[in-house]
Amino acid sequence: MIVVPVYNMIVAPEATLYFQMDQLQKSAGGKGLAVDEKIVLIVARDKKASVRLTEDGFYPIGVAGAITELNRQGYAVVRTQYRVNLENIQVQPDRTIRLTMSRRPETEDLPAAEAAEKLKGLKQEMRRFSAAFEWAETAEFFIEQIDSVEMAACSMSPMLELSNEERYAILAEDSRARRAERIEKALYEFMEVGRITNEAKSSQQQEYQQRYKEAAIKRQMEHLQKELDEMHPENVTDVQKFAQRIAESGMNETARKESEKVLNRLRQEGKESVESGMLYDYLDFVTTLSWKKAEAEPIDLGEARRILDEDHYGLSKVKERIIQQIAVMNLKKQQSGSILLFVGAPGTGKTSIGKSIARALGRKYVRVSLGGVHDESDIRGHRRTYIGSMPGRIMDGIHKSGVSNPVMVLDEVDKLSASYNGSPASALLEVLDPEQNNSFTDHYMNVPYDLSDVLFLCTANSLDTIPQPLLDRMEVIQFQGYTPLEKLQIARAHLVPKSMEAMGIAAAQMHVTDEALQMLISDYTMEAGVRGLRKRIDTLCRSLAVKAATEPDAVVTVTPALVGEALDARPIRHDTILPQPKAGVVTGLAWTPVGGDILYIETMLMPGKGELILTGQLGDVMKESARIALSLVKALLPREAEQLADHDLHIHVPAGAVPKDGPSAGVTLTTALASLLTGKVVDPHIAMTGEVALRGAVTPIGGLPEKLMAAQRAGITRVFIPQENLYDLKDVAAEVREKIEIIPVSSVEALLQAVGILEPDAKIA
């Protein structure tokens, strides 16, 4: 048995093939050939394997036959018989091949009559085809020798423009009927291409001709386009470019089918179509999107901690929680973890710490601003049926990052609003839910995309406006305001160097003293963060840039005196303790979106009819607190309260132009009314905060760290807080706790006794 390797030719059973005897003798190791000698034809996977005879370079199916004739022209005639499965292919030192084989069964689903009819029609078509050429007479003899469809394919194999894989696919087809269909398709396409090339006319039926003509033209166009692309890579058509991108993108099956569908539309519509621009934009978006999932890389926690400390001063509690998140991601080999919501005043570092997290993880950073978004389509995208449609902000951010696993900061989620176009907060539910976002569907793309590798971080100034279902999907991390000492360190280490660099001032040209920075912090800013401080420092550097430009060698030392001159602005007025204490006026503490502040409660009695007057833009909750305070004072001081029958009571909370609401001023209102009725003055160095109940209990409030910071800034020395807020003192900076005496109270009686208004044994009536 002789094993003969072949390449780039069609071999099939029941066909007659011609080989040079030299080729067969070479495969037989140089021995002579004999009629009826067994032959096995094996198909090489590529040209390299056919020349070098590599053992794994052959397909697993071959065809067995025998030599039927050895003619004088140096050719051996081989008749193939049946297909065989090949195993244990071994190349011997003399380049002969040994193997084991077994007959491969095939489906006899092509009746003899139908096979004969197919062969008859094929031979007729071959005669029509050859009639247009000079070798028609020779072709007639050749056609007469064909006794099967397989033999026709093998005989015309050198002329067919089929790849090696396509030729092997004919041999590998187990169904004789489907094998015949493949052969017919290849032969008819070849003849149709030849007919078009020679401008031959066919008398074939219109339906039959159209079917194969279209396939032949497309195949010829693809072949010619491929040659053009290879000759001029810079002129690759859009269709070819998108087809290549789709094949290499790694997108999921649904996305691939949708992309190919749109690509076919673009191919059919052409560049002159009205919709071509929309189709092009869609394909350009989805094919340049990153679909391949990145492997989770090990994270150096020490390096991550160093980066966080380098970029942000303080925020120890926040950093520790972030390190915990990174540690969990590292252990579980995950790209994402819990959805973190950073809540705090503006300028406290919420957004910038997201950039530091991305740097610590070695990943791309994307910021998506949600402030003012009121349309659901801004999150989910617009459907492509609309003019000017575009993807939503989430997928647009993923696209711009170029990766599937960026660190994405959703900024200002508390500024979302709803409209008749839907609620963007509701659309975010799917984005931020780990159980759903692995198949997020943007309306513009209309195919699912896996967001599970994206590390989402959200920021907000307040929790009040965030819908509860959305809030439940996130873990809240509070960003407390910075103390003056922390602001000084931040300004010295970060703000001043960055501002000098931005203004083009060299480090040797300007030196800012700590006294100047302290003046900027205390007299020209009033905030929990450092955003306003940064603006003031920028203004200071701009004013000194003129001197640095005109006198490059001069060194400017910024002192407090120079700060006032350079800023040319009036210092901010801070509320401080009253220089002249007065009965009926008590200092409270308030929380604001930019931090804490002190709040005066002013009361006054005047002749009247016992009416209660409230001014200062008070909200409904604060008005109710005033009425509760009045009832408590009447119960505690029944004798002093008798004067309210013929006097009007006026309660005012400056500043009158600023809206105020919330229950935390309850104890301050009660104390102010008690001070007014008894005429006893409360020390202005005392401040207080807490909600009051009608039973006289002092209940807990929020925003304690910001309020105590405001008290320390205003010069307050003693602060009364609810007993239940003692736990929150761990979030208060040590610098603040050391300068203020903090006294917890659980009842109004205890508070009024502590400030000297009530006797030690006084109780509610």
| Residue range 234-244: mean pLDDT, rounded | 71
* Fold entry, domain 302-477: Rossmann fold (3.40.50)
| Residue range 6-24: mean pLDDT, rounded | 87
Mean pLDDT of the chain, nearest integer: 85
CA 491 to chain CA mean position, Å = 33
Q: How is the chain split into domains, by residue range?
A: 2-103, 112-230, 237-288, 302-477, 484-567, 585-754
Band of residue 64 on the pLDDT scale cut at 50, 70, 90: very high
Q: What are the CA-CA distances from residue 393 to residues 370, 457, 566, 728 (Å)?
A: 9, 15, 42, 37
User: Which residues on adjacent β-strands are paired with residue 38?
Assistant: 66
**CATH 3.30.230.10 fits domain 585-754:** yes
pLDDT above 90: residue 435: no
Distance CA 610, CA 647 (A): 5
Residue 419 phi/psi, 5-degree rounding, is -150, -175
pLDDT digits (tens, 9 = 90+) for 722-743: 999 998 888 888 888 888 999 9
What percentage of the chain reaches a pLDDT higher than 70?
Answer: 93
pLDDT above 90: residue 699: yes
Distance CA 568, CA 216 (A): 82
pLDDT the model gives residue 595: 66
Secondary structure class of 478 (helix, strand, coil): strand
pTM of the model: 0.61
| Residue range 150-154: mean pLDDT, rounded | 85
Residue closest to 698 by CA, chosen among 723, 663, 727, 673: 723
What percentage of the chain reaches a pLDDT higher than 90?
Answer: 20
DSSP state of 665: T
pLDDT the model gives residue 40: 93
pLDDT the model gives residue 204: 46
pLDDT digits (tens, 9 = 90+) for 153-191: 888 888 888 888 888 998 999 998 898 888 888 888 888
CATH number of 484-567: 1.10.8.60
249 among known catalytic residues: no
pLDDT above 50: residue 144: yes
Band of residue 230 on the pLDDT scale cut at 50, 70, 90: low
Q: Which of 175-189, 190-204, 458-472, 615-629 has the lowest mean pLDDT?
A: 190-204
Residue 244, CB half-sphere, CA atoms under 13 Å: how many? 9
pLDDT the model gives residue 365: 93
Q: Which of 5-9, 69-73, 487-491 has the lowest mean pLDDT?
A: 69-73
Cβ–Cβ under 8 Å, residues 299 and 308: no
Cβ–Cβ under 8 Å, residues 459 and 493: no
pLDDT the model gives residue 202: 47
pLDDT the model gives residue 157: 83
pLDDT above 70: residue 690: yes
Q: Which of 82-86, 245-249, 396-400 has the lowest mean pLDDT?
A: 245-249
When comparing pLDDT for 94 and 754, which is higher? Answer: 754
Distance CA 440, CA 446 (A): 10
pLDDT digits (tens, 9 = 90+) for 334-383: 878 788 999 988 888 888 899 999 999 888 999 999 888 888 888 888 88
Strand-strand pairing, 407-411 and 58-70: unpaired
Q: Which of 707, 730, 739, 747 is an active site residue?
A: 707
543 among known catalytic residues: no
Q: Which of 117-131, 390-404, 697-711 has the lowest mean pLDDT?
A: 117-131
pLDDT the model gives residue 529: 82
Cβ–Cβ under 8 Å, residues 336 and 456: yes
Which residue type, as a one-letter code, is found at position 378? Answer: D
When comparing pLDDT for 262 and 593, which is higher? Answer: 262
pLDDT above 80: residue 139: no
pLDDT digits (tens, 9 = 90+) for 509-537: 888 888 888 888 878 887 778 888 899 88
Q: Which of 664, 680, 739, 747 is an active site residue?
A: 664
Which CATH homologous superfamily contains domain 2-103? Answer: LON domain-like (2.30.130.40)
